[in-house]
A and B are shown apart, each in its own frame.
Chain A
Amino acid sequence: MTDATLGPAQSRRPFGISATALVFAGMGAFTLLNIVIAICVGRYGVPVGRALEIVAHATLNPGAELSEIDERIVWLVRTPRVLLAALCGAGLAVSGAALQGVFRNPLVSPQVLGISQGAAFGGALAISLGIWGAPLLIMVFLFGLSALAMVGFIARIDGRTEIITVILSGMVVGALFSAFVSLLQYFADPNSSLPAIVYWLMGSFATATWERVGIAAPGMAIGVFLLWSLRFRLNILSLDDAEARSLGARPDLERWIIFVLVALVVGSQVAVSGVVGWIGLVIPHACRLMVGYDHRKLIPASIIAGAGYMVLIDTLARTMTTAEIPLGVLTAIVGAPVFALLLRHHYREKGSK
């Protein structure tokens, strides 16, 4: 639909269609640019033209023999890594945006609900038991979900669930699972499983392979797609319960639908790349500044910007020093100051109302 076909009512649309389109185009370009850069740079540099040629060739001829070294690096090492980073970034950002909507609180994130900690415990347990691959993903998801179920159970008092009790229960459950993870580390074999757990917990895409993309992609794709489909409903759920109910929503039930989708996305992400914080906090905030609060714009914007940002962070993590910097460290170093600024901006604006 173009501006010309819209009636007078539509031309009054806030944020004007063209301005929003411009922001989305910018975000899309940012993400694409980061993806292309990520595929080219590294200790073995590949020119842009050659890299795109390799990707196009391998996509069009699946199963073709990759004999050249640059082909193997681009297609077997970097492309799955970039894809995985993009997927995880999009998933974390959209999860954060959705949770902030249903909690009507800009400071919540998957960590706050204890999902990440529960999922991390599931993963650490799997590694201690020598389990990898798809079964690890299942354990991660199940523990993430059970952390969420525990939060729901604790927070439900006399048949009602208050938002503040959910947040506090999330912190309690998160602390409990963090303690369990420490316990596992204490008992882990210092020669084999301990370094694996520690490295995995710090978060990294270094071990990305096409197989891992295959493991993480279905859960992520389903979760992100459904959260995107629920974008208008998220507007309704961000209202007071009474208002939401009068508009035909069942806030209690529908909030849990969102939580389960978030657990699916975060579980899939934790399974393949460990705990990566801050994305779900920083990206939705930045997107709100650019496209506004309406989830119909905020959700797609978070998906696009989250993907680009995660790819950028991962590229920095593997190129800034000769050794890889753990992702969790970088996202915190970049995210914490950015978030502090956003926070001040947010409350200054609130105060000026």
Chain B
Amino acid sequence: MIGLENASVAFGKRTVLDKLNFNVPRGQCMAILGPNGRGKTTALRAMLGFQPLASGSRVAPQVVGYVPQYASASQSYSVREVVVMGRATGLGLFGQPRLGDYAAADSALERVGAERFSGERFDRLSGGERQLVLLARALATGSDVLVLDEPGSALDLANQQRLLVMLDGLRQQRDKAIVFTTHDPNHALAAADTALLMMPDGPALFGPVEEMIAPAPLEALYGVPMRLVEMEAGKGRTRAVLPAFAGRRAA
């Protein structure tokens, strides 16, 4: 559905992507993890077609639903106006959204549970609400592919949870290919089927979340000791990964 084939990107002499290969089929959700500057964002941009490739190719449908990390809020559009922009892909240069496009925008807003602030101004929403609206815009494109750039990275824990539950709900419907980048391995545990680890040296690792989000590969990825903990949470047992940062040990 969406992926890269032997994609290489170099900025000057620095090779950022070296023959990167992955393909996310419909019904799967993949998380991309990696240290800063290792090419997560470049891989994301390459996947979306914003980043010219030195070699290799991109596999993607015509329209990809994209959720940026931050939204441009220079213009004070209403939430509904923002979401209906997702329909622009099918409208061409001179097209105007029609009733059907508004219906699609409204149902996308309902899907992410954001219909109650449909009439409010986008730039007056909180960060968490904005991300939901951007997700709704991506859904409104009608694309089978959803690409998210560090979803929830700027949100507090409650809003991260809300967004991840939403993402997991979309994953469980199994009708889309979903890819997101993240700094937090727990995001991958919460919402992804597979994970791509962009190792600091050497080729990227790819595998199911259960194998990838484990102490050994993550320690190699970040150079920080990691521990997997199981705990009671909500209705059942759940797992989380914890980094053990060096430094003062308060305990």
Contacts and interface: CB of A to CB of B under 8 A. Distances in A.
Interface in B88-124: 88-91, 93-97, 99, 102-103, 106, 118-119, 123-124
A255 interface: no
B30 to A, nearest CB: 18
A246 B66 contact: yes
B223 to A, nearest CB: 30
Contacts of B72: 104, 238-240, 243
Contacts of A43: none
B141 interface: yes
A63 interface: no
Contacts of B217: none
B2 to A, nearest CB: 13
B229 to A, nearest CB: 37
Interface stretch (B18-26, B78-86, B179-187, B189-197): B78-86
Interface in A33-82: none
A294 B99 contact: no
Contacts of B94: 229-230, 233
Nearest to B76: A293
B226 to A, nearest CB: 32
Interface in A151-188: none
B64 A246 contact: yes
B88 A248 contact: yes
A341 interface: no
A245 B45 CA distance: 11
Contacts of A122: none
A148 to B, nearest CB: 20
B117 to A, nearest CB: 11
Nearest to B97: A232
B88 A247 contact: yes
Interface residues of A, number: 34
Nearest to A226: B94
Interface residues of B, number: 39
B173 interface: no
B74 A105 contact: yes
A348 interface: no
Nearest to B95: A232
Nearest to B89: A248
Nearest to B138: A246
Given A243-B72, A292-B76, A248 B118 contact: no
Contacts of A246: 48, 64-66
A296 B88 CA distance: 13
A233 B92 CA distance: 8
A243 B96 contact: no
Interface string A218-251: 0000000000011111011011101101111100
Interface in A13-33: 13-15
B66 A9 contact: no
A236 B81 contact: no
A239 B122 CA distance: 13
A247 B75 contact: no
Nearest to B101: A232
Interface of A: 7, 9-10, 12-15, 101, 104-105, 229-233, 235-236, 238-240, 242-243, 245-249, 254, 257, 292-294, 296, 353
Given A15-B78, A233-B88, A233-B93, 6 more contacts: A10-B99, A232-B95, A235-B75, A242-B66, A245-B50, A247-B89
9 nearest CB pairs, A to B = A246-B66, A248-B89, A14-B78, A104-B74, A240-B72, A9-B106, A14-B119, A293-B75, A247-B88
